[in-house]
Structure 1
Amino acid sequence: MSADRAVPGGAWTGDDSGHNDACHERWSQVQNRRTDQPGYRDDWFDEQCGGCRFWVALTGELGRDWGVCTHPGSAFDGRARFEHDGCDVFAIREDGTFG
C-alpha cells in the first residue's frame, strides 16, 4: 500500500486505488443483500443503502460506492456498507437522492 497522503505526514486521503480495490473486494464479501444472489427480491431494489437517509458516504474514492450506516436500529449501524446493499430498517431519503 502506498503512503497516499494529502501532505507528507498528513491525513490519509483515501485515494490509493490499490488500497481501495482491496477494501472493496474484502467488504463486498459481507454484503447483506447482493443483487446477484438467488432470492433477491425485486422490492429490495428501491431499498438500497445508498438511498437510505441514514447512509453517509465516505470521502475520497471509496465514497463513490461506500458509506457508513448510522441507523440506530440497524444491525449494520457504524459499519461500512456498499451503496447497493440493504437491510430491514431502510428509511427513504425525503429528497429522493441516492448515494
Structure 2
Amino acid sequence: MPDNSWTGDDREHNDECHERWLQLRNRRTDQPDYRDEWFDEQCGGCRFWVALSGELGRDWGLCTHPGSAFDGRARFEHDGCDSFAVREDGSFG
C-alpha cells in the first residue's frame, strides 16, 4: 500500500501557499509607514512564534500568543504585531 502521508515538501504547493499567505501580512517592510523599530519586532524573533516543519518552516510559523489577533494563524517570519515578545536568547526563526 503506498504511503500517502503529507510531508509538506511539495515545492509547487509550498510556493503557492507562500504567495497566497504573503497577501495576509499585517506589516509589510515595503510600506512607506513601516517603522524602524518593527525590524526588531518581527514574528521570527517573537517567543510565541513556532516554525512550521518542512520547506514552509523556512519562512513560516504559527503564532501561539493568546493575546495576539493572530493566535493560531500561520505568520510570515518577517511580519509582526503589537503583541510581540522578544525571545530571551535573541534567536530568530
TM-score (norm 1): 0.91
Q: CA deviation at 1:35?
A: 0.5
Q: CA deviation at 1:98?
A: 0.2
Matched with 2:13 is 19
Q: Identify the match of residue 62 of structure 1 among 50, 56, 62.
A: 56
Q: CA deviation at 1:10?
A: 4.0
**Cα RMSD for the two superposed structures:** 1.2
The correspondence of residues 1-99 of structure 1 with structure 2, limited to 5 A, is 8-99=2-93
* Dislocated runs of 4+, deviation >6 Å: none
Q: CA deviation at 1:38?
A: 1.7
Unaligned runs of 5+ in 2: none
Aligned residues: 93
> In structure 1, how many angstroms separate the alpha carbons of the residues matched to 2:27 and 2:39?
10
For residue 62 of structure 1, give the secondary structure of its aligned residue in structure 2. helix
% identical equivalent positions: 83
Larger RCO, structure (CA 8 Å, separation 6 or more): 2
Unaligned runs of 5+ in 1: 1-7
Cα shift readout 1:18-52 (whole Å, capped 9, x = no counterpart)? 00000000000010001011200000000000000
For residue 62 of structure 2, give the secondary structure of its aligned residue in structure 1. strand
